[in-house]
Structure 1
Amino acid sequence: MVQGKILLDTRSKGKKGHPIKIYISGNGSKKYISTGYFSMQEHWRDGVTRKHPNYSHLSTWIKRREFELQQQLNYCNEHGYTLREAVQYIKGKSSPQDEIEMLEKRLRELRGQPTVSLFDFWQQITHERKLASKSTRAFDQTLSQIRKFTDDIPISDITPGWIEGFKAFKYSEGCGDPGVHFYLVTIRTVYYAAARRKLIEDQKPFNGLIPQSVSRKKKVRLSKSDLLRIANYSPSKYAGAARGKAIEQRIAIFLFQIYIGGHDLVDVAGLTWDDVSGGRVSFMRKKIKRGVPVQVDNILLPQAQDIINRHGTPKAKRVFSFIPPHGTEQYEYYRRYYWKALKQMSEKLEITPPLKTKSPRYIFRTWAGDSGANIIHTMQIQGHKPKEETFKYQGRVPNRIVDQVLQQVLQEDV
């Protein structure tokens, strides 16, 4: 059986550092394949670290190459390749599916079919939606993820192989089935738009490759005793001072999300000092379907105020300025490490399923339901806008009433 992985070859070192190579082994022998990339040893820890000067490009390339490598290894083992044969095959960086897709692309070129840029056509679709006063949120978010995954390509190059690679890239970032579904459905919308305009021939590349939109994973159900254990959680003493402080901040932010009514990380990241004045936390909730913001105005409980006192950044405009601004690449990195911190803590505290960045909304909503809270009050606390016809006649409930509900939900034993 042939096995392989991407590693840092510390046996040699040049001006650019140690070479990054593909390591192939089988039948007691091993071979190395050069990738043309290098890294200093301090910038490598089971993969390239964020301190690497070319981290953004290199980390994305490694994820894609690891996915391709696994496909190539599977093919080699299925066909009984020897180590030498496998190395030759992997050096070619191609698979039967890749070869078919390349031949199809060449055939389109010979037939004189036009090559349409994915990014250019995507921007055209976005512009048309803006002119029609339609939301472009899904298209903007999906395009930003595609840009992280690949450079511009012809729309006709969206093939089953490309889709599988994009899925693997998103899964490696901690994205679940609902998120992958969201991105692929948006990509499919653009692909079909190009096919309807006769810019490409519809090859039906998405068939059977889009996961279910509704996660089948069990939602986390936290008890008040679990919440106390989280509040008392301390990082490992081996984490180091800087990393330990970062983990403490992430856990505090998770608790803060619950204490203010179960709100999203993106909204906590955007809070300014004006938003947390007068014993209240007030903001326009951002993560609303169709991009319609809803006003949130909740009481600031002592537990939440304590987190602000301990972790707030009073010299900055935003309350928690150590969270990068939403919409930046740094924010995506922070969210990823935030998720990893929650996952690691869940494992140590034996909380199943593991906590996620979205868990505070589910937790508070569940506690509110179990406490018998009025659905209108809960929706106002969480920044939901009722859609049913009868709710259109319902105005905002006075703060004194919803404040009592929020306090009751978090104080009662559930």
Structure 2
Amino acid sequence: MIASIKLFETETVTKKGFPIKVELFYSNKKRRRKTIGHSLPQFWNALKQEPFKEHPSYFDLLPVVLEYHSKIAKINYGNYTFDEAYSILFGDVKIKPKTDPIDIGFLSFLDTFIQKKETKGESIKKFTELKSVLNAYTGNKDFPINDLTYEWLDDFSMQKLQTGCGQGGLMTYLRAMRTVYKEAQRRTSLKVKADNPFLGIIKTTVTKQMVELSPDQINELLNFKPDPSTTDDSAYKMKRNIAVWHFQFLIGGCDYVDIALLKWSDIKDKRIHFKRHKNRNMQNGGVTVNNFLTKTAREVIETYGNKKTDRIFSFIPDPSTGDVYHNFRGNINRSLSLICKQANVPRVTTKSTRYIFRTYAGEKLIHDLIIMKLQGHTPEGVTYRYQGSISPKVQDKAHKKIVKVLN
């Protein structure tokens, strides 16, 4: 049983906006909803499921929303029947609080944790991966959350390392597990011991050395020619992978997920406009990237873009496909690794262009404000509040100075 609150943008919009509804879901036959207010999307924080301060009725709406959040938390982490939960959320019947905390399995709580993050629009990838790993480790059997001890975690760590998991991957699983464990500890309705079994288990891993490529090495990569024995299809994909990697660099070191989501409507007057996927839960989607397109960048679009679809590079699976997209990106990285090996240059990935662009910008002494604008970052701090906007002319001059290093 799950209770939630959200803005229903799929319903009819009124002068006040879309309806904000509280929902109690048990099954397809047991679902109840109640409208508690209205809002336009720009005034609604989808991450926290509450109004932004800019909402016209913020001070009237916020107390109502917070009261329902309290009821929702009580239901989701309590042990109530549907009728009891309904009374708590919608009715006047007072349900006596359950004074005795309940035991819960770690995997059961992990499921609830994932559902809540998904409802809030937050990333769940590392937690679904953790669930898969734990199911394999326990044989799909749940285990009491209080069984998580130093010894349990040490045995788990040894098993993962012995079966090929790297130290970095292991630490990712353990940190995700700790996040879930600490969230469970905050729930007074759950009987979770007040300790930290992760002390001494989670270790700081050495940050990977970022790739360093000189302009000459990048030019070697861009001029790569596949081995004559390579099939035409493989050679085409290799060239396409290099071209798209180059395109990422040319427009500011853009993330691959943003490349996948680019639409033809994002291009106008030799400029590209988009909001970073990473900032999708920020108010208004965060900063708009508005960068000019070099001749080479436009050629990549013309060569590999599909004008029959909304997305420019539709050969890349839509990121919403989850594993399909991630597996495709993994194949791209393997292809780039092979190309770099044959070209005798340091290995690059789809993440490398952001660092390389930023490095070249620093070497050209480009001001941080301009770099942040080109890469879609929001300047923070009191000083930047008094900073006016940077003109496109100044931004484009700096942009051309950075990408010119490859000419």
TM over 0.5: yes
Is structure 2 residue 242 aligned with structure 1 residue 248? no
Per the TM alignment, residue 214 of structure 1 is displaced from its structure 2 partner at its CA by 5.8
Q: 2:109 aligns with which of 121, 127, 142?
A: 121
Comparing 273-282 and 254-263, the one that deviates more: 273-282
Change beyond 3 A, Cα 1:372–1:196: closer
Query: Deviation digits for residues 269-307 of structure 1, max 9, x if unmatched?
Result: 110111123211110012249756321010011111111
> Following the alignment from structure 1 to structure 2, what is the Cα–Cα distance between the partners of residues 307 and 413?
16
Change beyond 3 A, Cα 1:150–1:122: closer
Which secondary structure state, in structure 2, belongs to the residue aligned with residue 297 of structure 1?
Answer: strand
Q: 1:334 aligns with which of 320, 328, 331?
A: 328
> Following the alignment from structure 1 to structure 2, what is the Cα–Cα distance between the partners of residues 384 and 367?
17
- TM-score, normalised on structure 1? 0.61
Q: Does the aligned pair in 1 maintain the 2:114–2:127 contact within 8 Å?
A: no
Q: Which residue of 1 aligns with 2:67?
A: none
Q: Which residue of 2 aligns with 1:221?
A: 212
> Following the alignment from structure 2 to structure 1, what is the Cα–Cα distance between the partners of residues 125 and 374?
27
Q: Which residue of 2 aligns with 1:315?
A: 308
Per the TM alignment, residue 385 of structure 1 is displaced from its structure 2 partner at its CA by 0.7
Query: Given residue 121 of structure 1, which amino acid in structure 2 is its aligned partner?
Result: F
Per the TM alignment, residue 244 of structure 1 is displaced from its structure 2 partner at its CA by 2.8
Is structure 2 residue 180 aligned with structure 1 residue 190? yes
Which secondary structure state, in structure 1, belongs to the residue aligned with residue 288 of structure 2?
Answer: strand
Change beyond 3 A, Cα 1:248–1:413: closer
Which secondary structure state, in structure 2, belongs to the residue aligned with residue 390 of structure 1?
Answer: helix
Is structure 2 residue 318 aligned with structure 1 residue 325? yes
- Report matched runs for 1:15-414 at 5 Å: 114-118=103-107, 120-125=108-113, 137-138=122-123, 140-149=124-133, 151=135, 153-154=142-143, 156=145, 159-160=152-153, 161-163=155-157, 177=168, 181=171, 184-195=174-185, 197=187, 198-201=190-193, 206-212=198-204, 215=207, 217-288=208-279, 293-327=286-320, 328-352=322-346, 354-412=347-405
Which secondary structure state, in structure 2, belongs to the residue aligned with residue 282 of structure 1?
Answer: strand
> Following the alignment from structure 1 to structure 2, what is the Cα–Cα distance between the partners of residues 214 and 294?
31
Per the TM alignment, residue 130 of structure 1 is displaced from its structure 2 partner at its CA by 9.0
Query: Given residue 221 of structure 2, which amino acid in structure 1 is its aligned partner?
Result: I
RMSD of aligned alpha carbons = 3.3
Per the TM alignment, residue 359 of structure 1 is displaced from its structure 2 partner at its CA by 0.8
Comparing 304-313 and 217-226, the one that deviates more: 217-226
Per the TM alignment, residue 196 of structure 1 is displaced from its structure 2 partner at its CA by 5.2
Q: Does the aligned pair in 2 maintain the 1:281–1:300 contact within 8 Å?
A: yes
Report the number of matched residues.
291
Q: Does the aligned pair in 1 maintain the 2:218–2:406 contact within 8 Å?
A: no
Query: Deviation digits for residues 138-162 of structure 1, max 9, x if unmatched?
Result: 5x23223235545464363764244
Query: Deviation digits for residues 97-154 of structure 1, max 9, x if unmatched?
Result: xxxxxxxxxxxxxxxx945252x423544676799xxx7635x232232355454643
Q: Does the aligned pair in 2 maintain the 1:142–1:183 contact within 8 Å?
A: yes
> Following the alignment from structure 1 to structure 2, what is the Cα–Cα distance between the partners of residues 146 and 289?
24
Q: Does the aligned pair in 2 maintain the 1:282–1:296 contact within 8 Å?
A: yes
Q: Percent identity among equivalent residues?
A: 27
Which secondary structure state, in structure 2, belongs to the residue aligned with residue 406 of structure 1?
Answer: helix
Q: Does the aligned pair in 2 maintain the 1:261–1:364 contact within 8 Å?
A: yes
Comparing 297-306 and 229-238, the one that deviates more: 229-238
Per the TM alignment, residue 308 of structure 1 is displaced from its structure 2 partner at its CA by 0.9
Query: Given residue 227 of structure 1, which amino acid in structure 2 is its aligned partner?
Result: I
Per the TM alignment, residue 189 of structure 1 is displaced from its structure 2 partner at its CA by 1.4
Higher relative contact order (CA 8 A, sep 6+): 2
Per the TM alignment, residue 401 of structure 1 is displaced from its structure 2 partner at its CA by 1.4
Which blocks of at least 5 consecutive residues in structure 1 are unaligned? Answer: 1-112
Q: Does the aligned pair in 2 maintain the 1:164–1:209 contact within 8 Å?
A: no
Query: Given residue 137 of structure 1, which amino acid in structure 2 is its aligned partner?
Result: E
> Following the alignment from structure 2 to structure 1, what is the Cα–Cα distance between the partners of residues 164 and 239?
27
- TM-score, normalised on structure 2? 0.62
Which blocks of at least 5 consecutive residues in structure 2 are unaligned? Answer: 1-101
